[in-house]
Every structure is written in structure tokens, then in C-alpha cells.
């Protein structure tokens, strides 16, 4: 095992830990910071794979990730979302932290097993990326289900996307760059729109606990 | 010339974004949409016999199916632009908000117009995500608590779907790569499908079906759809229900044959089962709802299920019927939401129980609503009647008798559900003193124009269009 792949394995381990940490961190500001760490670890994995392949596509993707997710998303959230929300501690999650942690660990194992099963066909691959990518996708889904505040829900979607790309850099290293750039643009637009929506919700209905909104549904007569 | 189709929408959006251009924004949008519509019809005329038009090799290529879809999008874009004009004016919306609405509306149209033109699967995914992103703020346009809730649910579930789908796209690329090909286009995928590793193909299929299925509103991933399609302004609902869902379904239908070659994936069975569950659940939910915009939204879930079921037959007759239904549904559903829009203007409420004797309050709104319900329910002599008949016939030809029986039963349940609610609203004496509000002229015109194809296609399928349907179904390419 070369040094680069060992470093990549370290980045993958830290990546999944940061994803799980986002699920149980109550303070929203801290949650954003952990998301930055997660994005930087995705970029690190892209750089390491890019250096060992070598592939300019992956280096470029790493740069796009740093600019788009580690710098721009937190900046957008700070600029557009009222500062009170950043200091909020989210107390009313749908399930408590220990249960969420246990569920996250279970999902990680599931993702790991499934990733290993899928990679069986193509042994030359960084199989850890696929396993941890799928695991992060599942834990991100859990984050989305557990949290009811707007900002953590957005971070759940972005964490899932990071997971998809963590697998993506291993399985499709020469994916057309134009698509990668456009994806980065999509992420910025997403951050911008969600920040606007969160701000509108805060001003109009006085809460950003969007998971608790349930006025719209069928009422059985 | 072809690239002008999406670019016109972008130019219109830029124009509307200019602060001084405020008052002209609705007119500019309507003009752009009419130009897009005429270009699309010309393109459909050229491509109706079959063949491919290459604009940028490997990236932008068009065939008859794409041209048909472009025409549908352009048709709803044009009528919705016209409807928006009067609809926003009737609501006393401020000039700057009207400007922003139109800028966003044009960009949303741009994202949808691009999808049929694109040939590269990665880019198609990006534009599918863009359709969500560019419509979120249109759904929340009213900035009420309900609209914000609907927009949030819409955002979370459709982007969740998009994130799952992106992994599907990457796995599909991986599978393609394993065959030695790098041509990540519709044709490239079809050519290489038989040689792709089985495990990867299956994984990609599940991810793409779940991911895009969430965006189409397939049960049980449909929960956002009635919320978003009832809270958005009516012309936006027409775009969301009439064409956005159809455009994403088009992507799924084109992906179908990449997977259908592998018999162990049971692609046809998946389509039929998911389709029937959606049709059945939507038909039952439709009878329970108390909001007439949600009524039409559930009807969209129902129709997406019907089209998916027809495509699941994997026969040429099923494909022709599926494309036909796609066409009939888009044309009719936009009309239904315009009818809902004028009813809302006339009565000020979306509550079915609160509206009685609409015929006395606004004869025009009552007629439109009844017409829309009959047409989308599948009554003769309207377009949906013929396309649904074609689907049932295709099912009989494929000897899928249980499927035909279930489908027919659910269609009848939905028909009576729709009619029950609408006749309750239309008939009888008005319960309270009506607050009469005039229906804006542009809204009335948009409604009448949208009704034209619904009536014409119900009694006469022009030769050129029939030919386009046949060749579009060949693009889907059932064996």
C-alpha cells in the first residue's frame, strides 16, 4: 500500500466520522464548521487520488469542491441567514442523539458492506471511496430525517452529495469536467436559494424548524 | 437557430431582471414564449418523419421525441406566460416582484427546454436539478406560511432525489467505462448496454429510478407534489404539473432501454408495479382531498403512473400510447390549472367545501373547471380519452389483462372523484354573497388557447402528428 493510498484511507475515515458528527451536533454554527471539514476531506481524497492516478480532472474537482463547498456555502449561509439562527442549539430532534449515533453507525456498516459487494467487479479501484461514499449518503439521509431546523437539513443534502462524489471520484475519475463545473454551480445556486428561503421563513413565520411544519396534508373527513 | 430555443428564454429572463424594464416584463415573456413555440413547431415539422439533427456532436442532438417534447414545453410556456400576465395583475403584486417572477419564470422554462435537447447524461442530470432549483422560489412566491412549507418540502424531496440520481449517473458512467467506451450519450449507452457489468447496471437502475422517481412524484415519493402544485401561483402549477413532471419522465423513459436489455432486472415489471401503485394511491387520495388545486395535483400523480405503466409493457404499441398520453396530459393539465386559477380569482378560496354554486358566481370559471375535470378525467371527446384508450388497447394486445382491469378501475375511480368534487362546487345555489372579481382578459385568452389542442386532439389526430408519435416511440425503441 503506497503512502498516497494510506493517506487517502485516513481521509476517508475522517470523512465518515465528520458526517456522523454532523448528525449529532446540536449547535447550528458548529454543524456548518463540520460540514466545511467534511468538504475539505472530500477535496483531500480527490487530490490524493488525482496525484496517484494521475488525473487533472480530480485535481480540478478538488479545487472546485474547496471553492464551492468549503468557502462559498458557509459564506452564503453567514451572509444571508440571520445570525440568531447560527447560535441556535437545536433541542427538538425527532430522535435523541445516542439513538441517532447508533443508527448512523449501523448505516455506515451497511454502506461499507454494500460498497465492498459492488466493487468486487472492478478490483483496481479505491474500494474505500465507494464504501464510505455510500455510507455517507445513507448517514446524510439520516441527518435529513433527524433534524428539523432548516440549515442542518440543507447540510444533510449537501453531505449526501459529498458522499456521492466521494464514490464518484473513484468510479468515474475522467467524468467530463464541464459537468463537474456545472455541478459546482448547482451547489452555489442551491446554497443561495435555501438561504433565501430560510430567511423568508424566519421573517414570515418566526421559525426555521421546517421539519415541524405540517399544515399541508389530507384531512380525512 | 435551434440553440435560439433555450437562449430566447434566457434573454427574456435577463430583460426582466433589468430594473427599468418592469412594466414590459410580462409582454417580453409572452413574446419570447411565442417565438420559442413557433421555432419548436418548425423543428417538429422537420423531424416528424424520424432522423436526428446534430447541433453539437455528442452534446446537443435532437430527434422526433425531443422535438415533440420541446413543442409541448413551449406550448405550456406560452399559455402560462399569458396567464401570468393577468393573474399577477389581479393580485396587486408590486412591480418589482412581477419583474422577479418573470425573470425566474423564464429561467425555469430555459431549464426545461434544455433537457430534451441535451445528449450527454451528466448534463441532463444537471438540468434536471436546475428545474428544481429554479422553481423553488416560484413555489414560495406568495411568501405565506403554507407556501414556504410547500417550497421547503419540494426542495428537500426533489434534491434528495437528485442526489441519489447523481450517484446513479456516476455508477452508470462506471459501467459504461468498464466496456471500454466513453461516449456517455443516449446512443452510446444503448450501444454498450449489453456489455455492461450486471451488478453495476442493477445498482444504477435502482438509484436512477428512486432518484428521478422522487422528482416525477411516484408514490410513495409523491408527498411534496400536492403541496408544491397547490401552493404555487396557478401558471407555475401549470408548468410544474403540466410539463416539469413529464420532462423528468421523458428522461426515465429514455433510460429504460439501457436496462431493459438485461432480463434479470425486470425493468418492465418495476415500471408496471410502481405505475399501478401511483395510479391507485392517487385515485384514492383524489377522492379525499379538500382543495381543488390538490385535486389536480393528485391527478398528475395518477397520470404519471399511467404513462409509466404503459411504458412498462415494453411493446411498440405501449410506447406510442405512452408518448400520446404524455402529450395529452401536458396539454390538458395546464388547462386544468388555468381553470383552477380563474376559480381562485373569482372566489378567493382553494377550499372545495367553501365553494357552492360557482355557476352563479362566475359562469366562466365554472365552465372552465367542469371542462378541465371532464377532459383530464378522460371523458370523450377529449385528448386524454383517446390516449387512455390507446394504453388500454396496448395492454390487451400484450395480454396483460389484470393490468388493464386494474388500470381501467383506477381511471374510473379518479374520474368520478374529480367529477364529484367539481360538480359539488359548480352546481347548487351560492352559499354566501359572492365577492365578484373580474377575470383578467389575458387569463381568459390563455385558457381558451390551452383548450384548443385538448379539443382538437380529441377528435382529430393530424397526419403529421401521428407520424411524429410513431417515430418518437421508435426513439424509445421497445423491441
- Given a cut of 50, the residues of chain A with pLDDT beneath it are 221
pLDDT of residue A1: 61
Give the residue among B370, B76, B456 at the shortest CA–CA distance from B241: B76
Task: Cell numbers for B292, please give them.
Answer: 381543488
Q: In chain A, which residues have their Cβ closer than 8 Å to the Cβ of B215?
A: none
Q: For residues B469-473, give the mean pLDDT.
A: 92
Rounded to a whole number of angstroms, the distance from the CA of B74 to the nearest CA of chain A is: 24
Smallest CA–CA distance from B198 into chain A, residue: A121
Integer Cα distance of B166 and B130 in angstroms: 13
Rounded to a whole number of angstroms, the distance from the CA of A86 to the nearest CA of chain B is: 19
Confidence of residue B2 (pLDDT cuts 50, 70, 90): confident
Cell 446512443 sits on residue: B187
B120: contact with A, CB 8 A cutoff: yes
Give all strands (DSSP E) within B169-265, no chain letters. Answer: none
Task: Cell numbers for B419, please give them.
Answer: 367529477
pLDDT of residue A182: 78
Report the 10 Å Cβ neighbour count for B198.
Answer: 12
Smallest CA–CA distance from B130 into chain A, residue: A186
Integer Cα distance of B158 and B168 in angstroms: 15
pLDDT of residue A219: 61
Whether B429 shows a pLDDT value over 70: the answer reads yes
pLDDT of residue B284: 94
Q: For residues B442-459, give the mean pLDDT.
A: 95
Q: In chain A, which residues have their Cβ closer than 8 Å to the Cβ of B167?
A: 133-134, 137, 163-164, 167-168
Report the 10 Å Cβ neighbour count for B402.
Answer: 10
Q: Do the beta carbons of residue A194 and residue A80 sit within 8 Å?
A: no
Q: Do the beta carbons of residue B115 and residue B124 sit within 8 Å?
A: yes
Name the residue facing A121 among B137, B199, B285 (closest C-beta): B199
Rounded to a whole number of angstroms, the distance from the CA of B319 to the nearest CA of chain A is: 31
pLDDT of residue B321: 96
Structure-model confidence comparison of residues B267 and A119, the more confident one: B267
Residues in chain B, total: 479
pLDDT of residue A5: 86
pLDDT of residue A97: 82
Cell 352559499 sits on residue: B431
Q: For residues B375-381, give the mean pLDDT.
A: 93
**pLDDT tens profile B334-376:** 999 999 999 999 988 899 988 888 888 889 999 999 999 999 9
Calculate the average pLDDT of chain B.
Answer: 93
Q: In chain B, which residues have their Cβ closer than 8 Å to the Cβ of A152?
A: none
- Count Cα atoms within 13 angstroms, Cβ side, for B424: 15
Integer Cα distance of B231 and B323 in angstroms: 29
ipTM above 0.90, yes or no: yes
Give the residue among B121, B263, B114 at the shortest CA–CA distance from B189: B121
**pLDDT tens profile B178-205:** 898 888 999 999 999 999 998 899 999 9
Integer Cα distance of A17 and A11 in angstroms: 10
Smallest CA–CA distance from B124 into chain A, residue: A179
**pLDDT tens profile B295-333:** 999 999 999 999 999 999 999 999 999 999 999 999 999
A178: contact with B, CB 8 A cutoff: yes
Integer Cα distance of B5 and A69 in angstroms: 33
Q: Do the beta carbons of residue B367 and residue B338 sit within 8 Å?
A: no
Interface test with B, best of A116, A172, A187 (most B CBs within 10 A): A172
Q: Do the beta carbons of residue B217 and residue B225 sit within 8 Å?
A: yes
Q: Taking the alpha carbons of A201, B210, B321, B130 in that order, is the dihedral positive or negative?
A: positive
Integer Cα distance of B328 and B457 in angstroms: 8
Distance of CA B50 to the CA centre of its chain: 24
Whether B403 shows a pLDDT value over 60: the answer reads yes
Contact B153 A216 (CB under 8 A): yes
Q: In chain A, which residues have their Cβ closer than 8 Å to the Cβ of B197?
A: 121-122
> If residue A125 lies in a helix (H) or strand (E), which one and from where to where?
none
Amino acid at each position: 500500500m503506497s503512502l498516497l493510498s494510506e493517506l487517502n484511507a485516513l481521509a476517508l475515515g475522517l470523512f465518515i466520522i465528520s458526517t456522523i458528527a454532523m448528525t449529532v451536533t446540536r449547535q447550528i454554527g458548529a454543524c456548518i464548521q463540520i460540514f466545511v471539514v467534511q468538504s475539505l476531506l472530500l477535496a483531500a481524497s480527490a487530490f490524493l487520488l488525482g496525484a496517484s492516478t494521475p488525473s487533472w480532472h480530480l485535481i480540478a474537482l478538488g479545487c472546485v469542491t474547496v471553492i464551492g463547498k468549503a468557502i462559498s456555502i458557509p459564506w452564503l449561509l453567514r451572509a444571508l441567514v440571520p445570525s440568531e439562527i447560527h447560535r441556535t442549539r437545536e433541542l427538538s430532534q425527532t430522535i435523541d442523539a445516542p439513538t441517532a449515533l447508533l443508527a448512523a453507525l449501523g448505516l455506515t456498516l451497511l454502506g461499507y458492506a454494500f460498497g465492498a459487494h459492488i466493487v468486487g467487479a472492478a478490483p483496481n479501484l479505491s474500494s474505500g471511496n465507494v464504501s464510505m461514499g455510500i455510507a455517507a449518503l445513507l448517514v446524510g439521509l439520516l441527518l435529513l430525517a433527524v433534524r428539523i431546523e432548516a440549515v442542518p437539513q440543507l447540510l444533510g443534502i449537501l453531505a449526501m452529495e459529498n458522499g456521492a462524489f466521494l464514490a464518484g471520484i473513484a468510479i468515474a475519475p475522467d467524468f467530463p469536467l464541464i459537468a463537474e463545473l456545472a455541478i459546482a454551480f448547482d451547489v452555489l445556486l442551491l446554497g443561495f436559494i435555501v438561504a433565501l428561503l430560510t430567511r423568508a421563513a424566519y421573517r414570515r413565520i418566526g421559525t426555521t424548524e421546517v421539519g415541524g411544519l405540517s399544515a399541508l396534508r389530507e384531512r380525512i373527513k | 437557430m435551434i440553440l435560439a430555443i433555450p437562449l430566447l428564454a434566457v434573454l427574456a429572463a435577463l430583460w426582466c431582471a433589468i430594473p427599468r424594464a418592469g412594466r414590459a416584463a410580462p409582454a417580453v415573456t409572452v413574446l419570447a414564449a411565442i417565438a420559442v413555440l413557433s421555432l419548436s413547431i418548425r423543428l417538429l415539422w422537420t423531424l416528424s418523419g424520424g432522423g436526428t439533427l446534430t447541433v453539437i456532436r455528442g452534446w446537443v442532438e435532437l430527434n422526433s421525441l425531443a422535438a415533440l417534447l420541446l413543442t409541448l414545453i413551449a406550448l405550456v410556456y406560452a399559455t402560462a406566460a399569458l396567464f401570468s400576465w393577468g393573474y399577477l395583475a389581479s393580485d396587486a403584486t408590486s412591480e418589482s416582484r412581477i419583474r422577479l417572477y418573470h425573470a425566474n419564470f423564464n429561467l425555469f422554462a430555459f431549464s426545461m427546454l434544455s433537457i430534451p435537447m441535451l445528449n450527454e447524461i451528466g448534463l441532463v442530470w444537471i438540468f434536471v436539478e436546475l428545474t428544481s432549483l429554479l422553481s423553488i422560489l416560484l413555489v414560495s412566491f406568495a411568501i405565506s406560511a403554507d407556501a414556504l412549507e410547500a417550497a421547503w418540502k419540494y426542495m428537500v424531496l426533489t434534491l434528495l432525489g437528485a442526489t441519489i440520481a447523481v450517484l446513479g449517473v456516476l455508477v452508470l458512467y462506471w459501467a459504461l467505462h468498464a466496456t471500454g467506451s466513453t461516449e456517455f450519450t443516449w446512443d452510446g449507452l444503448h450501444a454498450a448496454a449489453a456489455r455492461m457489468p450486471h451488478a453495476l447496471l442493477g445498482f444504477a437502475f435502482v438509484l436512477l429510478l428512486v432518484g428521478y422517481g422522487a422528482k416525477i412524484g411516484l408514490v410513495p415519493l409523491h408527498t411534496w407534489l400536492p403541496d408544491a402544485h397547490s401552493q404555487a401561483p396557478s401558471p407555475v402549477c401549470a408548468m410544474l404539473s403540466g410539463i416539469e413532471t413529464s420532462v423528468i419522465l421523458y428522461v426515465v423513459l429514455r433510460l429504460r432501454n439501457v436496462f431493459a436489455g438485461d432480463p434479470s432486472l425486470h425493468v418492465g415489471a418495476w415500471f408496471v408495479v410502481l405505475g399501478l401503485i401511483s395510479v391507485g394511491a392517487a385515485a384514492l387520495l383524489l377522492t379525499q382531498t379538500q382543495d381543488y388545486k390538490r385535486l389536480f395535483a393528485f391527478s398528475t400523480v395518477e397520470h404519471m403512473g399511467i404513462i409509466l405503466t404503459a411504458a412498462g409493457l415494453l411493446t411498440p404499441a405501449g410506447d406510442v400510447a405512452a408518448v400520446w398520453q404524455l402529450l395529452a396530459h401536458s396539454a390538458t393539465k395546464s388547462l386544468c390549472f388555468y381553470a383552477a386559477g380563474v376559480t381562485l380569482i373569482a372566489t378567493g378560496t382553494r377550499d372545495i367545501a367553501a365553494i357552492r354554486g360557482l355557476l352563479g358566481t362566475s359562469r366562466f370559471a365554472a365552465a372552465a373547471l367542469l371542462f378541465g375535470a371532464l377532459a383530464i378525467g378522460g371523458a370523450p371527446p377529449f385528448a386524454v380519452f383517446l390516449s387512455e384508450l390507446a394504453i388500454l388497447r396496448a395492454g390487451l394486445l400484450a395480454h396483460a389483462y389484470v393490468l388493464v382491469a386494474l388500470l381501467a378501475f383506477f381511471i374510473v375511480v379518479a374520474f368520478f372523484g374529480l367529477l364529484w368534487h367539481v360538480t359539488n362546487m359548480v352546481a347548487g345555489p351560492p352559499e354566501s354573497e359572492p365577492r365578484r372579481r373580474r377575470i383578467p382578459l389575458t387569463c381568459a385568452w390563455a385558457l381558451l388557447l390551452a383548450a384548443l389542442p385538448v379539443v382538437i386532439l380529441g377528435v382529430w389526430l393530424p397526419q403529421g402528428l401521428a407520424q411524429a408519435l410513431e417515430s418518437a416511440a421508435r426513439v424509445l425503441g421497445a423491441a
